[in-house]
Amino acid sequence: MGLFKADLYRSFAIGFVLGAAALVAGTSAFADEPQGGIVAAAQAAPVVVDHTR
């Protein structure tokens, strides 16, 4: 009698494969967009002058 049964390892393997497939499918859906689509382009914040002194 082992600590973990084979069903646990099989469940982890199936979950890993399905999760990886979902991740690849989700990220490849945005591959055709010019800026990647997942991460927006960085924009600098407007300059605010400090008037506290």
Classify 20 as helix, strand or coil: helix
Q: What is the pTM of this model?
A: 0.50
First CA to last CA distance, the chain: 73
- Alpha-carbon distances, residue 32 vs 23, 35, 37 (angstroms): 16, 9, 8
For residue 51, what are its two tokens?
A: 């008037």
pLDDT, residue 18, reads 95
pLDDT in tens, 1-53: 566 678 888 899 999 999 999 988 887 766 666 555 566 677 898 998 888 87
Q: Which long-range contacts (CB under 8 A, 24 or more apart) does 7-11 make?
A: none
Q: How far is CA 33 from the centre of its chain?
A: 17
Q: Where do the domains of the chain lie?
A: 1-42
pLDDT, residue 13, reads 92
